[in-house]
Amino acid sequence: MKIVVKILFSLLLIQGTIIPQWVVQNLSTEKNAMLAISEPYPYSNESGSIGIRAGIGTDINLGLVYGGGINYLINLNQNAVEIGLVVFGGNSEETTEDYNTYTETTDVLVYGVLANYLFGYELKKSAVFGVVGFGFCAISVEWEESSPDDESLGTPLPGGGSKQSEDATAAGSVLNLGFGIAFNGGFDIRVEAPIIFIFDAPGNASSIVPTFMATLGYHF
């Protein structure tokens, strides 16, 4: 009988030391699970931001090009997608000499929607990143050709020669390539090459307008 009592007493002591350890381990496991649930999903940390951008540059004929816009950035952790409304404007002039001298002037104003994919971009973190974008736009084109020698173009010019002109609004698209440097505070600078494709260019205006721009942007 004494032996049975000793065995029962020993079992109670063993149970008393094991149960608290099991309870502690169980509570620790539940705590870790709750912490894991409360941690933010890696793609949701500062997932969106409104931004503004403006820049200036030139085209293939060394004319003036300028632009700007407002955008919304979707952060994908180590990359990002930037969707925005953009405005481009430009003026170029080209002179050719054959038997006569001809000068072509083209004024372009572009309104559109542009989506850029930013490789290696993290919102408000310092980094070097790449830019590839595509968009659709409406393009206002004013084209004029004049010659001080040729009187067959149409409208006579004072002092001799003639000119012809045509204005139109056409649909088009934009392909954007470039790279940039982002800073911790939300600013970034970029070197970009927006190429404008005009679907139905008026007169002899070029249907492809390559441009080169330096732009400055900020995401709030």
Give me the residues of the chain with pLDDT under 50, please. Answer: 4-9, 11-19, 22-24, 27, 31, 33-45
Dihedral over Cα of 133, 86, 210, 212: its sign: negative
Residue 21 is predicted with a pLDDT of: 52
Sequence-ordered alpha helix ranges (H) in the chain? 2-38
Residue 195 is predicted with a pLDDT of: 94
pTM strictly above 0.85: no
| CA-based end-to-end distance of the chain | 81
Residue 23 is predicted with a pLDDT of: 42
- Angle formed at CA 94 by CA 88 and CA 96, multiple of 5 degrees: 160
Q: Which two tokens stand for residue 187?
A: 């600013």
Dihedral over Cα of 48, 49, 52, 53: its sign: negative
Q: Which two tokens stand for residue 162?
A: 């003639």
Cβ distance 209 to 198 under 8 Å? yes
Phi, psi torsion values for 7, nearest 5 degrees: -65, -45
Residue 9 is predicted with a pLDDT of: 45
Distance CA 144, CA 102 (A): 10
Residue 43 is predicted with a pLDDT of: 42
Residue 27 is predicted with a pLDDT of: 47
